[in-house]
């Protein structure tokens, strides 16, 4: 239906639905990798995994002064992960989780929920790997909910609610799944595929 849940604060027990007039999306063939991010990807400073630490990624995203991830949302997304709809990309420095992103996959649409970063560029690298995986799997819509300056620098765009719902309807007709079993590629592979499609 194109709505997503939020809470006013971490301590607020109530959840409400949001359907913005203007929606943020990340064009899967328009992810912008800056020179500095490209350099980081070539260096492979972090290990990347998929769906191996969903709960800790969720905790990392909720660990901020202001968050819409209350206990109700936290528990519901854990349940969505357990039944195969919610997924995460994890960024590791050794055994330490230093960044990640999570969201929900439905047919050909991926709904990005939140991300966090405890190291420089960790969330950007997580997004680069996520976009790469979504393209490989055949997704056609990457919903970022809102657009932020950070996401805009990476290529995110803002579209109208009507245009978003058209894209969503097309994506929901696709029969694709999020592949969380194939090992993460190298940063060089992600960079090369992004260059070929952008």
Of the listed ranges 3-7, 8-12, 93-97, the one predicted with least confidence: 8-12
Average pLDDT over residues 60-64: 90
Q: Which residues contact 186 (CB under 8 A, 6 or more apart)?
A: 44
Mean local confidence (pLDDT), 120-148 = 95
Q: Supply the CATH classification number for the domain 4-197.
A: 3.40.630.70
The domains of the chain are located at 4-197
Please check whether residue 70 is in contact with residue 13, taking contact to mean a CB–CB distance below 8 angstroms. Answer: yes
**Distances from the Cα of 25 to the Cαs of 18, 47, 64, 164, in angstroms?**
15, 26, 23, 8
Residues 14-44: pLDDT tens digits? 998 999 999 999 999 999 999 999 999 999 9
64 vs 191, higher pLDDT: 191
Q: How confident is the model at residue 68 (pLDDT cuts 50, 70, 90)?
A: confident
The reported pLDDT for the residue numbered 137 is 96
Q: pTM for the whole thing?
A: 0.94
């Amino acid at each position: 239906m194109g709505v997503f849940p939020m809470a006013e604060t971490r301590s607020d027990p109530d959840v409400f639905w949001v359907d913005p007039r203007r929606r943020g999306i990340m064009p899967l063939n328009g992810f912008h990798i800056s020179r500095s991010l490209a350099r980081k990807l070539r260096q492979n400073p972090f290990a990347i995994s998929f769906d191996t630490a969903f709960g800790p990624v969720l905790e990392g995203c909720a660990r901020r002064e202001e968050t819409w991830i209350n206990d109700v949302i936290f528990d519901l997304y854990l349940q969505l992960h357990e039944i195969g709809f919610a997924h995460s990309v994890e960024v590791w420095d050794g055994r330490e989780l230093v960044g990640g992103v999570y969201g929900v996959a439905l047919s050909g649409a991926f709904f990005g929920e939140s991300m966090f970063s405890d190291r420089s560029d960790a969330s950007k690298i997580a997004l680069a790997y996520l976009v790469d995986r979504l393209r490989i799997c055949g997704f056609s819509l990457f919903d970022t909910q809102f657009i932020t300056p950070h996401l805009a620098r990476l290529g995110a765009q803002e579209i109208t609610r009507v245009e978003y719902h058209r894209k969503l309807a097309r994506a929901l007709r696709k029969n694709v799944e999020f592949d969380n079993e194939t090992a993460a590629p190298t940063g060089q592979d992600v960079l090369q595929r992004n260059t070929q499609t952008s």
